[in-house]
Structure 1
């Protein structure tokens, strides 16, 4: 029975189909690796709150991203993180078919309902583990970001072509916008082009123009190395010569390869980066395309911890419906923020002790760092000079740091980064406590973002497209101590929402200079404020929420997508020059 049209009453703008390789729906469904998937989930949650007609499409990832285990030296091992869609979701009736190397691959889907203040919307998780498929094809929706180029391109065929086929089979007829969250789903444009060129006499160039009017694209990739690229021979092998010819007509196979970011750029009427700084970087990478910015946001009701939810409910009860009301926390007494934060901190310290048997000091200035473990995020920058760190703790007050984050199984540099954190922890033992928690997921992130005293973020510029962990912290009154990259360029007000590490140059700065800036801020500003002036620290927590929590949220972000990208008559405006 085809029921989605009943669930999604469409306004003038029509329905938006939101495609993403990963979507973080809840901790028990491990279909995400980090910020990209969490951003996708928060976008859909914001749409449900507003009551905007939207449908999500992703893959089931039956074996999850991976389950992380760390040994006593920080060595990471990985295991599958399996889950059973049948135990949590409902299977939808139709099964569709995509062709890979000419063979039919059957695709079914599981439906998850995102519940919001304004209604609910469906997310479809595509699944090739169907008895009729060949054994290899049954594994295509098992692993997020697993396998080689062949496996990854097969996955992107399932997501793009299979996703559009499923929406057609489910009678989602009023879709006016296809939103590609990163380039993994760009082959949906090929599915649309097939429909626009159903007859041999159809003009392919004009058909691409019609496809372009239906698509929008959000790029999260600030470096060329982050783009999925596949050789033309592999594209022809998997899709066949007819589809390769269609892609060539849109300049989708320049220089003998399929660049998924390039294809998404080519076939979209609107393109945006995920922060103002990222817009500038993206325009440098892709000078032939008009690129605008919609800075990311996080879903306030999801990421505010219970003590802060209760505080907001008492003082600004409209905050869930309209996140801008968080501005009005400026009238809330500082001691209430201090009390809410103390409760969050105790919850986090208890969980740290449960996991590690390490009892941290409730009175110590606690820094938090929970990011994907990869080189440019530089989790080890704070350990650039261990003696300096010891002296700061001895002179100003006790200091401790809590880390979390997974390294991709093939990212040896990222794994080495975790080991260096462990080495630093051993060297600092007895002077500065350092713990690294494994099993980085939504639940742990929420605990850390609300329980630490200061959020630490030290990416190498300009590689941070946006970064949303500091936004989650801000919703809980936790200020940032961060390199000026990504969203922090916009959220930083020195001494009011946190502190800057280094200067505001958009280009890379020497790590030694940024480490020195980090130590200076810790020694001269952050630690003295925390240890000696607690009332002022609570006031800073309040201003962090009022300024950053009220703006860097998914509700504001989604309203910008509606006005700039989704409603055709508005999206037709030229982007900012």
Structure 2
């Protein structure tokens, strides 16, 4: 197992890669995730487990998860908090001290064993234990806490306490930051082993080009809180500047960094071109775990070219989704109609309002009696504008028949939407979408991607232009132009839907997306482009071959 606990007297000697992430989306039962960052981490760890690849995760055990998205008495979205319990996590009897604001608190580690959800092992950290006072316990209450000082403390727990737990439990060669939140790790490691060690053993994945995704903090507040361990503030300023930019520090302190799509690499290189001494930035396009997400029967019928059963299976999956629509919204959707879904994190640059850009044009599509529309997604609990947008769309949906807005967008609902939709609509404002993984798992299940030319869609379009629908041309970013393009595309799809040409398109999406989007490919690229930069022994060829037939995963709950 590689941990100190019951029956263990020393840590495992096998050298491993430690992957630090605020969130892992692994199973509906373990609600410690918010969106794409966690979906990436979960899929990578399932691929690594299949490959027998030496990885271990470090994250935080959020007592109340991200939040529960529910409805008030009028059906509008409200935020609810419910304490989560996970009795399958192992108490490994490891606690480490952490000084925040010159006061000591304790961080306790639990272990998610690799056999529970078919992933590599993950250490989950918590401050919510009796040894701490109330304020210290709240640090690990909520993912991405809206209080800035609490958020900084969370980053210290992940980075510093995570490093100390691994010193007790694992032999680590490579430290991987999945986003820059765990950058306190680099300063604690620098204090412990010197900067040369950090520079040769730290790697970094950056996820978003928008300012809100690249955190900037008052360097004096960070220093007072102990963010830099015992590294002096002047040295910290050399890495992150004043004010302190976490992404800049990660780029300067890492040996290698990666963006999460080809376009994102270009955007990232331009965005940080002014940073002296930054590491090389490659790209590894995000991917998702086929074994967790793809319906087995859809895959079998697509491989056999059995369009009759492919159609029957897809209609069956649509009816499963429509039960949720009926339950939440009181509307009965028709499995014979083209079903369009817009579902992802509710953020302004993703433009959830875009289908309603011209309400009359959307109504004309609906009035054709051939199309129906579903929205889903979670705004950040502190993003009140996004919450207003969500509730505004709910109000609009009540005025337009055959539309619905679903709450509870987590792994289970996400999978139902991807299994049951026909078109997966993606409308980000270029070039703000780093990757946007949701459409990948939709394509695996024959939900054809319709997107602006942003994120991974650029690569999909350039490789297989006939397998998706592209909004606009990527050059004219005027919203009226792009919206008009979207409405025209939807009319074209209505004409094609449920024809032989349509089911051939569905078949090709199901089959082609496996190689393009599977996390096995992503793991192989991380091994070659990032981890092998530290040590060649981490090339995937040095480990067991990936077994694509291993479908033992708790997420395969809709394949019967």
Q: Tell me, what secondary structure is at the counterpart of 1:251?
A: helix
Corresponding residue to 2:524 among 559, 562, 574: 559
Is 1:228 aligned with 2:215? yes
| Structure 1 residues 571 and 50, CA gap change in structure 2 (3 angstroms) | closer
Q: Distance in 2 between matches of 1:241 and 1:463?
A: 30
**In the alignment, what sits opposite 2:93?**
93
Corresponding residue to 1:271 among 244, 248, 257: 257
* Paired residue total: 529
Q: Distance in 2 between matches of 1:486 and 1:242?
A: 36
| Structure 1 residues 163 and 406, CA gap change in structure 2 (3 angstroms) | same
**In the alignment, what sits opposite 2:149?**
150
Q: Tell me, what secondary structure is at the counterpart of 2:516?
A: coil
**In the alignment, what sits opposite 1:107?**
107
- Contact 2:298 2:314 (8 Å CA) reproduced: no
**In the alignment, what sits opposite 2:474?**
504
**In the alignment, what sits opposite 2:554?**
none
Is 1:421 aligned with 2:393? yes
Post-superposition offset of 1:220: 0.4
Post-superposition offset of 1:68: 1.2
Q: Tell me the C-alpha RMSD between the 2 structures.
A: 2.5
**In the alignment, what sits opposite 2:42?**
41
Q: Tell me, what secondary structure is at the counterpart of 2:28?
A: coil
Post-superposition offset of 1:495: 6.5
Q: Tell me, what secondary structure is at the counterpart of 2:396?
A: helix
Q: Distance in 1 between matches of 2:340 and 2:12?
A: 44
**In the alignment, what sits opposite 1:200?**
none
| Structure 1 residues 47 and 116, CA gap change in structure 2 (3 angstroms) | farther
Q: Distance in 2 between matches of 1:482 and 1:423?
A: 25
Post-superposition offset of 1:349: 1.2
Post-superposition offset of 1:510: 1.4
TM-score (norm 1): 0.86
Q: Distance in 2 between matches of 1:73 and 1:452?
A: 27
Matches within 5 A, 1:60-139: 60-71=61-72, 75-85=76-86, 87-115=87-115, 121-139=120-138
Is 1:437 aligned with 2:406? yes
Matches within 5 A, 1:525-564: 525-531=492-498, 534-564=499-529
Post-superposition offset of 1:74: 6.2
Instruction: Tell me which moved more, 96-105 or 160-169.
Output: 96-105
Post-superposition offset of 1:339: 2.5
- Contact 2:531 2:538 (8 Å CA) reproduced: no
Q: Tell me, what secondary structure is at the counterpart of 2:94?
A: coil
**In the alignment, what sits opposite 1:468?**
437
- Contact 1:45 1:116 (8 Å CA) reproduced: no
| Structure 1 residues 52 and 138, CA gap change in structure 2 (3 angstroms) | same
Instruction: Tell me which moved more, 284-293 or 269-278.
Output: 284-293
**In the alignment, what sits opposite 1:484?**
453
Post-superposition offset of 1:47: 0.6
**In the alignment, what sits opposite 1:325?**
none
Q: Tell me, what secondary structure is at the counterpart of 1:403?
A: strand
Q: Distance in 2 between matches of 1:336 and 1:241?
A: 59
Matches within 5 A, 1:13-412: 14-71=15-72, 75-85=76-86, 87-115=87-115, 121-170=120-169, 172-173=170-171, 175-196=172-193, 207-239=194-226, 243-245=230-232, 248=235, 251-255=238-242, 257-287=243-273, 288=275, 289=278, 290-304=280-294, 308-312=295-299, 314=300, 332-395=305-368, 397-412=369-384
- Contact 1:48 1:116 (8 Å CA) reproduced: no
Post-superposition offset of 1:244: 4.6
Instruction: Tell me which moved more, 564-573 or 402-411.
Output: 564-573
- Contact 1:563 1:571 (8 Å CA) reproduced: no
Q: Distance in 1 between matches of 2:371 and 2:337?
A: 5
TM-score (norm 2): 0.89
Post-superposition offset of 1:423: 3.2
- Contact 1:491 1:548 (8 Å CA) reproduced: no
| Structure 1 residues 128 and 282, CA gap change in structure 2 (3 angstroms) | same
| Structure 1 residues 481 and 347, CA gap change in structure 2 (3 angstroms) | same
Q: Distance in 1 between matches of 2:538 and 2:444?
A: 34
1:402-460 C-alpha deviation (Å, 9 max, x unpaired): 1111111221221122123223313323xxx1111111110000000110111111111
Structure 1 unaligned spans of 5+: 197-206, 316-328
Q: Tell me, what secondary structure is at the counterpart of 1:21?
A: coil
| Structure 1 residues 253 and 7, CA gap change in structure 2 (3 angstroms) | closer
Q: Distance in 2 between matches of 1:495 and 1:276?
A: 16
| Structure 1 residues 247 and 152, CA gap change in structure 2 (3 angstroms) | farther
Q: Distance in 1 between matches of 2:252 and 2:282?
A: 15
- Contact 2:239 2:253 (8 Å CA) reproduced: no
Q: Distance in 1 between matches of 2:288 and 2:228?
A: 42
1:147-184 C-alpha deviation (Å, 9 max, x unpaired): 322111111111000001001112x12x1111100011
After TM superposition, what 4+ stretches of structure 1 lie above 6 angstroms from structure 2? 3-9
Post-superposition offset of 1:335: 2.7
Q: Tell me, what secondary structure is at the counterpart of 2:93?
A: coil
